[in-house]
Amino acid sequence: MNANDGGRLGGVPPEVIEFLSGRGGRSLIVKGGAGTGKTTFGLELLEKVGRPAQSYYLSTRVGDEALYRQFPWLKATEMRARILDAGKLFLEAVRGSGTSPAGELPESEQKKIAAAREVMRTFSEEHGPPTRVDRTHLVALLRRNPMPEMENIYNRIERALPEKSLLVIDSLEGVTHKYGLEMEEFVMALQKDLVENSNTNVVMILEKPEAGGIEYLVDGLLSFVREELDERRVRHMRLEKLRATAIGRPRYAITLAGGRFEALGVMVPDHGQSPSQGWSPVPDPERFYSTGIPDFDHLLGGGYRRGSFNAFEIDVNVGIDDYYMLFLPTFLNFLTHSRGMIAILAAGESHDKLRSSITHNTPAHLFDTRVRIADYTASETEESYIVPMARFGRDEAMKAMVAAERAARGPEQKPILEYTAFDTLESLMGDQAAIRMYFHGVQRARLADNLGIGLLKPGLLMSSETLNMMDTYFRIINIDNAPCIYGIRPRTRIYAISVEPEKGAPHTRLTPIM
């Protein structure tokens, strides 16, 4: 793996990195329909896997200048040296030394050369990596047609030996159609000459979604597809075959945001802040409360509007840790602005986990004095921040919640954050009573400029009526093991939710899926 990858989150899946980093050369076919991200992936491989002097991108579909216009990041000097325009390579070879290509030698001489190279290949396997590129199968193809750009590529790879090179061909059809070759024979030539005998990783990009029966010739196979999810575009990458490599995740959602390829949900080392550093509050824009996530603030036009209620519908396969990546920065930011919080937790959520997550980044006394959690299953508690609702009758319960709200507001009686899991309310009170309770809460909170965050789970009877009271409505879903969010009100594209790579948890970023 290229050490100069800049620590970008995601990028190429770790299985592909491991596959191409194995001993000896590897061959990989990348297939998929138009617009699925194959070219962007091939270019990302150059940076993530290849080294500047040992990686080459042979473009047969568009010239290098067109690539630079589409992918401006390629203009860096290091990357420009790796982009090889097939047309320019052809002219470079024609203007070269003028010696006859190997394919024009007498057949008897070609057989002698091939035999000698086979002996040298065997010798190198026993005594070290190759120092010459095997051209046996290329020579056979050159008998029918000169292929100056491929000869040029072979020469470049040979100059890099014994170091491993990376060759990305985009596209395979572009070469075979140009020279009237069968795809199978060309892939076989690359496999035998470069992959097996010359320590080269070769990635071949197909222009179509099917490989046409040549999958058995290569070591790896990736497929790219594009689909619509709730009228929003999503791309997927499927790891179909990676020889001698364990495939932990067979499928990844991907994004091409900013002209870069990124597989979503890839784990990265934890660069989180130490507890002593704490959370640095994000300023609140006028008339808004910051979400604590700059990307989300931008999406909302500044943050949550003061006095607003905001609904988040959580899909059944989204875990608590997944949606806490979105909510925890808001909790932290609210508390560090000396504002309190009242919470009714969802089934499966734990007040201990919530407290631990918050006090890891803020002083414990801030949580204990300004957070109140209404626990409808508890009749006794030793914790100041838990309101044991099970021991109260109706009137006492109302008084207890008034006292909890007063504590959360603090001496300055500031606005508070109300975090409500509607599955808990509905299971305790029934849908109609829960709706009435929440309606009165909405009216009261709007007058006090509170911030409401409502959590909705699948199958709730009160969801439709509750959503009518909400200012915003988002869905949090899981796409190929990556938590994602998109807005119904306001309507937005899909964004992947992940840890912010530079700051680490609990800082979060939203990456548009494009």
pLDDT at 10 over 60: no
Range of weakest confidence among 82-86, 250-254, 375-379, 420-424: 82-86
pLDDT for 277-305, tens place per residue?
A: 689 999 999 999 999 999 999 999 999 99
Chain-centre distance of CA 214, in angstroms? 29
pLDDT at 72: 60
Q: Which H or E run includes 495?
A: strand 495-499
> Following DSSP, what letter does each residue of 102-159 receive, concatenated?
GGGS-HHHHHHHHHHHHHHHHHHHHHSS-SS---HHHHHHHTTS--HHHHHHHHHHHH
Average pLDDT over residues 123-132: 65
Decide yes or no: CATH 3.40.50.300 for domain 288-512: yes
Instruction: Answer yes or no: are the C-beta atoms of 262 and 254 closer than 8 Å.
Output: yes
Can you list the positions of beta strands (E) in 290-411? 304-305, 309-314, 341-344, 371-375, 386-388
pLDDT at 276: 41
Beta partners for residue 262, in sequence order = 255
Query: What is the β-pairing status of strands 417-421 and 451-456?
Result: parallel
Average pLDDT over residues 3-31: 78
Percent of the chain with pLDDT over 70: 82
pTM (two decimals)? 0.82
pLDDT at 387: 87
Which residue would you say has higher pLDDT here, 305 or 57? 305
Confidence of residue 98 (pLDDT cuts 50, 70, 90): very low
Residues 149 and 128: their CA atoms lie apart, in Å, by: 28
Instruction: Answer yes or no: are the C-beta atoms of 335 and 368 closer than 8 Å.
Output: no
Cis peptide before 171 (omega within 30 of 0): yes
Mean residue pLDDT across the chain: 83
Residues 434 and 432: their CA atoms lie apart, in Å, by: 5
pLDDT at 128 over 80: no
Tokens describing residue 410: 């603090």
Residues 423 and 346: their CA atoms lie apart, in Å, by: 6
What b/e readout covers 221-236, taking b as 16+ CB neighbours within 10 angstroms? Answer: bbbbbeeeeeeeebbb
pLDDT at 501 over 70: yes
Helix axes 183-190, 172-179, angle to 10 degrees: 110
pLDDT at 432 over 70: yes
Non-local (6+) Cβ contacts of 383 within 8 A are: 351, 368
Residues 467 and 325: their CA atoms lie apart, in Å, by: 23
In the chain, where the domains are located: 14-263, 288-512
Average pLDDT over residues 408-427: 89
Residues 450 and 408: their CA atoms lie apart, in Å, by: 11
pLDDT at 94: 42
Residues 490 and 473: their CA atoms lie apart, in Å, by: 7
Residues 294 and 480: their CA atoms lie apart, in Å, by: 25
Q: 14-263 adopts what CATH topology? A: Rossmann fold (3.40.50)
Range of weakest confidence among 13-27, 286-300, 307-321, 447-461: 447-461
Which residue would you say has higher pLDDT here, 116 or 432? 432
Beta partners for residue 332, in sequence order = none
Instruction: Answer yes or no: are the C-beta atoms of 254 and 264 closer than 8 Å.
Output: yes
Can you list the positions of beta strands (E) in 247-335? 251-255, 262-263, 288-289, 304-305, 309-314
Which residue would you say has higher pLDDT here, 41 or 88? 41
Environment class of 34 (CB within 10 Å of its CB; exposed 0-12, middle 13-18, buried 19+)? exposed
Range of weakest confidence among 88-102, 264-278, 336-350, 408-422: 88-102
Question: What is the number of other CB atoms lying within 10 angstroms of the CB of residue 505?
Answer: 20
Environment class of 347 (CB within 10 Å of its CB; exposed 0-12, middle 13-18, buried 19+)? exposed
pLDDT for 144-187, tens place per residue?
A: 889 888 999 999 999 999 999 999 998 899 889 988 999 999 99
Beta partners for residue 389, in sequence order = none
Residues 463 and 435: their CA atoms lie apart, in Å, by: 9
